[in-house]
Amino acid sequence: MVELKGLQGNEIADDFKKVETEGGRWRRTWEVFKTNFWKLVALNLLVLITFIPAIVVVYMRNMYIDTLSLSYPFNASQGYPFYPREALTGLAEKLVLWVDIRFFALLIASGLIASAGVSGAAYCIRKLLYTKNQFTIKGLLHGVKVGYLKTALPVTLFMSLLYCTFLANDQMHLAAATASGFGGAVTLFVFAIIFTVLGGIYLLWLFALGVSYRTNYLNIIRNAFKLMFCTPIQTVFMAGFSLIPVWLAMMFSGFWLILVYIIFALFGFTFVLLCWLSFSQWACGLYLEPETKTDKAAPRKTEREIAVETEDRQRREALALLAAGKSSLISRPIKPIGNERVDVIGKSFTRARIAEAGVAREKMVSGVLAYEKEHENEKEYVEYNKMFAEREKALVVDGKDKKNKNKKVSAENLLR
């Protein structure tokens, strides 16, 4: 059993409650994609804004190469001026290598800006997976706050691997054009592709754990290695499946490429994040104890249990009715109002006057209590209090008294 240190109980879920629902993770992923499609589109457009610097860098790189191809004498005639053939050998490849060294370095820097959008979108995607319909701009900004640094590192490393691969490809073409060191250039390019693919898959795990768990980053690095090598087939398959929008962009050209770009602009980024984060949470769940409660249907109750609950509810209603029905004005004697004078203090008074009023009021209170004591044993008060005492006893006993154990007391028969 693989031990994932530092992940148990440390999942980042600051403004939402995780509740697992029945039906499986992939069914829930499909439901999120189907029922929140326009929310995913809105989120994808927000992420696309942070990728604008990278898009500009790639566009300017292509435009610069096209400009150089028009200004340099690749198609000059053999008249005056005369360009020796050796001087033009590999010139186009050298220019491409020179341009890529500068522009793709800017692509690494633009990845730091794109990391803000990716980290915020990752938090929102995880929130949608657990809540199905909660998405706010505030949540996006919170995701940037808690996950930017853990996103920027893998993004920067991956862009660096791509940078080396592009340069190795340019060097291979240059070696082929000049017929010097072609074998070594091909070998370098093949190893660059292998390192980029393996490193990219590992960095996907590093990114997924970084935006999902709040723990020491060394633990995230170790756990990413463990999960990558413990689920190799699933990892390769899901990495390939998640990157379907990228494969489509590489396969098509012309009108179909424009259509793919439109699809990518609408939900390309969120599709990649939704698939990969759902898979990563599933893989972590194989080695972690569940932290969430599963919503299950309440078990069906027997007729006896339903009858007991019904009687208990009626008993509580009867007690409430009993408490509301007993009147303190009827259950005890109240001295009738007579012609006794009530001592009232005027607007102007002395200390002696206050003392006299206090004595008079104490005398009045004692008179009321004396009257109540004198008449409390009269028949009407005794029978009234006895009636409510018996009913209350019947409710509290709840079947312990043999006399009342079969008597059903409810709001309907309370006053019978």
- pLDDT tens across 156-206, in order? 999 999 999 999 999 999 898 888 888 899 999 999 999 999 999 999 999
Q: What is the mean pLDDT of residues 256-283?
A: 90
Q: Say what the pLDDT of residue 321 is.
A: 56
* Of 156 and 32, the one with more pLDDT: 156
Strand 20-21 to 294-295 pairing = parallel
Q: Residue 65 and residue 190: Cα distance in Å, rounded?
A: 25
User: What separation in angstroms does the CA of 350 have from each of 347, 359, 363?
Assistant: 10, 15, 20
Q: What is the pLDDT of residue 317?
A: 67
Beta bridge partners, 295, equal 21
14: DSSP letter: S
pLDDT of residue 385: 72
Token pair, residue 197, equals 């693919």
Count of other CB atoms within 10 angstroms of residue 71: 8
Q: Sorting pLDDT into bands at 50, 70 and 90, what band is 372?
A: confident
What is the percent of the chain with per-residue pLDDT over 70, rounded to a whole number?
77
pLDDT digits (tens, 9 = 90+) for 379-398: 777 776 776 676 666 655 54
Q: Residue 359 is which amino acid?
A: V
Question: Is the pLDDT at 295 greater than 70, yes or no?
Answer: no
Least confident of 181-190, 287-296, 402-411: 402-411
In angstroms, the CA 146 to CA 135 distance is 16
Q: Residues 205-234: pLDDT tens digits?
A: 999 999 988 888 888 998 899 899 888 999
Tokens matching residue 7: 């992940």
Q: Helical H runs in 291-378?
A: 303-325, 351-375
Statement: residue 405 has pLDDT above 90: no
